[in-house]
Amino acid sequence: MAKTQPRKPLTLSNLKQVFRIFRFLRPYRAPFILASIFLLLGSFAGMVIPFLMGKLIDSASAHPKPGPWHDTTAVGIALAAVLVLQSAVGYFRVSLFAKVTEKTMAAVRTHLYDHLMTLSIGFFEERRVGEIISRSTNDVDQLQDMLSGTLPDFARQLVAIIFGIAFTFAASARLTLLAIAIVPALVVATFFYGRFIRRLARERQDALAATSVITEETLQNIHTVKGFSNEEYESRRYRTSLDKVVRLGIKGAVYRGGFATLLSSGLFGSFAVVLWYGVTLIKSGDLTSGVLVSFMLYVGFIGGAVAQFGDLFGRLSRSIGSSERLFEIMEEPGEFAALDTTEPVRDPIHGAITLDHLHFAYPTRKDIEVLKGISFDVQPGQKIALAGQSGAGKSTIAQLILGFYKPVSGTILFDGKPAKEFDLRALRRQMAVVPQEVLLFGGTIRENIAYGRPGASEEAIREAARQANALSFIDGFPDGMDTIVGDRGIKLSGGQRQRVAIARAILKDPVLLILDEATSALDSESEHLVQEALEGLMRNRTTLIIAHRLSTIRHVDCIFVLQEGRIVESGSFDALEGRPGGVFRQLLQLQFQKNLVERVEPGDVHPGDQ
C-alpha cells in the first residue's frame, strides 16, 4: 500500500516546489505571456461592466449629472463593446493556455519517462509498478489541471478582488470599509480549513495510487488469480481499497463544502448589511442609485472571488502533493550519472571478465549477504556456467555483470579495466540476455526481434530468426513476421518466445552473452530446438550460462558451483561429475532422481500392486 506522506502547509517554500514545473514552460514563454495579458484584459473588462451598468442606470434618472455618462445610448454602446472585447480576449486566452498547457505537460511526461528509463533496477524493485504508473498519470494530470485551470482562475479572482476594491473605494470609501470588515474572519477560516483539505487531498492521492497497484498486480497475475479461483477475493480487495478512496474523497468534499458554505454565509450577510447602508446613503443624497448598483455588483464579484479561494487552495494543495511525488522521481539519481571518472570508457570490449572478491547484498535486504567473496576469470570467447541450488547467487552475478547493481565490495573488470570506468550504456550495448521467462512486447514478431538492433533490415531480421530456429514457425503464421504476439507474448508458446528472444540476441551480435536458465522450463522438443539455436549463438563469444538443467552445460569450458553465496567447486563437467561427495555430483544425482519421478505417469501402476 502507498503510504500517506506527512502533511505539508501551504507555504512559500511549498509553492516554489510546485512552481518548479514552470521550467518546462520556458520554450512556450511567448504564448504564455500573451495568454496572461489576455487574462488581465479580460478580467479588467469584466470589472468595467458593473461600472458601466451603474452609469446606464444613472443616465435614465430624472436629473442626470452633466458629463459623458448622461447619454444612455453612448453608455449602452460602450457596455456592448466591453462585452465583445471580454468575449474575444476570453477565447484567445483559453486557446493559448490550452496550447501552452498541452505542450508543457507533454514535455513533463517525456522528461519523466526518459528519466524513468535511466533509473536503476533497484528503484523499480523497491516500488510497485502501479504506484509509478499513478505518479506518471494521475499526478501529471493534477499538474495539468493546475496550469490550465487553477492558476488562471487564481489570477482572475485576484484581479477581481484588487480592481473590485479599487472601484468600490472610488465609489464610496465608507461602504467599502463596511464590506471588507469580514475579510479577517474569512482569512482565518481559509487557513484552518486549508489544513484539513491539504491532508485529505494527499491521503486520497496515495489511496488512489494503492488502488492502481492492486489493478496492476491483478492483471499481471491474471493466470494465477483464475487458477486459484480468486476472482471474488481480488474484487473484494479492489473494492476495499476503492472504498477508502471514496471515503477520503467524500470527506474532502464535505470539508470543502463546509468551507464554501461558511464563506457564502458570511458574504451574503455582509451583502445585506452593505445594501441597507447604501440605501440610507441614497436617501441622504450621498450616493446615486447607479453607484449603489455598481457597488453591489463589485461586492458580489469580490465575494465570489473570495469564496472560490477555498476550492482554489484545495486544488493548489493537491498540486503541491503531486509535484512532490513527481519531483521525487525526477530527482532520483540515474544509474548513468554516478560515474567515478570524468571520461568514461566507451571502447569495445573483447569479452574478458574478472570478478575479484565480490560481496553483495540487495538494497532492500542489506542485512543478508547474497555473495560472499566471489572471484573468477573468464577469457574472451570462453563459455562458463554457474550451477547451484536456487538462491545460491547465480542470477545475482549476472545482474552485477550487467550493471543492474553495484557490489558492496570487490571489483568487476572488463578486459582488465574496472566496470565503474565504463560508460554503462556502451557496455550494455555489447551484451545480450536470453532469460528463462521471456516477456515480449505486445507488438509484432518483427518488432520484438528488431528490438535487439533497431533499424535492422528485413533480411537481417529473417536471418536472425532462421539461425534461432524460429523462421519455420513464424512463416507458419498467416501474418508471418507481422503476427501480433499479444501482451507479454502470451499468444506464443514458451519455446517460441525463447526462440524469438534468441533471434533478438543474434541480431544484436553481442560480445558477451548471458543465458539465464534459458531452457529449464521447456519440453524436450522445444529444448532441442532452443539448445541448437543457442549453440550457434554462443559460438565465438563469451558466454555465461545459468542453468538448473545441468545436462545443458556438459560442453562448457568451466563450471563454477555456488553454495550460499560462495564458489565451492569449479572445473569441467566430467571432472566435477567424477568428484566423490562433491556438491555438483549431488546436484546431478538429485536432478536425475527428479527426472525419473517426473517420467512416471500418475496412472502407471504395476499389475502386481493391485
Q: Is the pLDDT of residue 5 over 70?
A: no
Among 5-9, 280-284, 297-301, 355-359, the least confident range? 5-9
pLDDT tens per residue, range 129-148: 778 887 888 888 888 888 88
Contact 146, 319 (CB under 8 A): yes
The DSSP output letter for 568 is E
Percentage of the chain lying above the pLDDT 90 cut:
16
Q: Is the pLDDT of residue 120 over 90?
A: no
pLDDT tens per residue, range 148-179: 888 888 888 888 888 888 888 888 888 888 77
Task: Round to whole Å and give the CA distance between 610 and 608.
Answer: 5
How does residue 13 score in pLDDT terms, banded at 50, 70 and 90?
Answer: low
Query: What's the residue count for the chain?
Result: 610
Among 152-156, 161-165, 339-343, 355-359, the least confident range? 339-343
What does the block give as the cell for 586? 549431488
498: nearest Cα among 530, 535, 532, 544 = 530
Domains contained in the chain, CATH given: 12-330 (1.20.1560.10), 345-430+511-600 (3.40.50.300), 437-509 (3.40.50.300)
Task: Round to whole Å and give the CA distance between 249 and 514.
Answer: 49
What does the block give as the cell for 384? 562458463
Contact 530, 451 (CB under 8 A): no
Higher pLDDT, 517 or 42: 42
Q: What is the dihedral of CA 427, 463, 439, 492, to 10 degrees?
A: -170
- Name the average pLDDT for the chain: 82
The one-letter amino acid at 367: D
Specify which residues 412 forms β-bridges with. Answer: 355
Position 227 scores a pLDDT of 84
Task: Round to whole Å and give the CA distance between 554 and 329.
Answer: 46
pLDDT tens per residue, range 389-439: 888 888 899 999 988 888 999 999 998 889 888 888 888 889 988 887 888
Q: Is the pLDDT of residue 295 over 50?
A: yes
Q: How far is CA 227 from CA 148, 214, 230, 233, 491, in A?
A: 46, 18, 8, 13, 18
pLDDT tens per residue, range 37-90: 998 898 888 888 888 888 888 777 656 666 666 777 888 888 899 899 989 998
